[in-house]
């Protein structure tokens, strides 16, 4: 949660599920203090949906869950890949399949989240193995999401997710220097092509309600979304 806040996350939408709820609880306290927004939704699907909406409005966003909840989010995960919407999704893994055992340590979602959707499409999944990596890989996850315009998964098992300890983290100034922020197109509105940027450049996805017209869809699309 601290890494997410320091890299610029200002929205969290989710639903409580063991063993990921600690992330949600921490964000519910931290976000209002820095001008961000937290919302607990009625289920897992709406949790990721509002997070995607916030991202499309120009806000760095995050959600968190565990195996059964990730399964429910799959349709929206696929949509966010095709619609090119940045989002960080934390998965604090537990045993499965189905409801499994909420408090049993497991790492069974690794292969699942490498290929989480139909269409033979690979996802970016980062797997911190320590408290220090939980911080650094969260920063990296947000940067990759903004660069690639896709959701990025942050995987950890229940042990890492509930671990307490002292950790050395980068200074805030250092984190801000390495942070990738979304650019906004400032040219003529008729020339705006959000999906036409070079692959090695950050996304140019202007927030809605700024007068720049583009289409967001789960269909294959060209530079303006159609």
Residue 139: predicted pLDDT:
97
* Confidence (pTM): 0.93
Residue 202 pLDDT: 64
User: What is the spatial distance between Cα 1 and Cα 56, in angstroms, rounded to a whole number?
Assistant: 21
* Tokens 């193995």 belong to residue: 129
Question: Do strands 87-93 and 124-126 pair parallel, antiparallel, or not at all (unpaired)?
Answer: unpaired
Residue 201: pLDDT over 70:
no
Q: Can you tell me the mean pLDDT for 65-85? A: 95
Looking at residue 192, its pLDDT comes to 87
Q: Which of 99, 128, 123 is nearest to 111 (CA)?
A: 123
Residue 13 scores a pLDDT above 80: yes
Give the tens place of pLDDT for each residue, 120-169: 888 999 999 999 999 999 999 999 999 999 999 999 998 888 888 888 88
The correct CATH number of 2-177 out of 3.30.420.40, 3.40.50.970, 3.20.20.450, 3.90.650.10 is 3.40.50.970
- Taking the domains of the chain in order of start, what are their residue ranges? 2-177, 184-226
């Amino acid at each position: 949660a601290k890494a997410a806040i320091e890299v610029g996350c200002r929205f969290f939408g989710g639903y409580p599920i063991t063993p990921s709820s600690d992330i949600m609880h921490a964000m519910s306290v931290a976000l209002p203090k820095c001008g961000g927004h937290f919302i607990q939704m009625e289920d897992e699907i709406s949790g990721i949906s509002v997070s995607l909406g916030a991202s499309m409005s120009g806000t760095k966003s995050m959600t968190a869950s565990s195996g059964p909840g990730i399964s429910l989010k799959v349709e929206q995960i696929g949509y966010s890949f095709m619609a090119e919407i940045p989002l960080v999704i934390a998965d604090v893994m537990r045993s499965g399949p189905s409801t499994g055992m909420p408090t049993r340590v497991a790492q069974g979602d690794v292969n699942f989240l490498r290929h989480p959707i139909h269409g033979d499409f690979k996802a970016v999944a980062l797997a911190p193995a320590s408290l220090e990596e939980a911080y650094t890989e969260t920063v990296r996850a947000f940067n990759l999401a903004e660069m690639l315009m896709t959701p990025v998964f942050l995987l950890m098992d229940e042990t890492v997710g509930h671990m307490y300890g002292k950790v050395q983290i980068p200074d805030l100034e250092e984190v801000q220097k390495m942070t990738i922020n979304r650019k906004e197109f400032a040219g003529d509105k008729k020339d705006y092509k959000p999906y036409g940027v070079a692959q090695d450049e950050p996304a140019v996805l202007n927030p809605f309600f700024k007068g720049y017209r583009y289409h967001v869809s789960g269909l294959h699309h060209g530079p303006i979304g159609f």
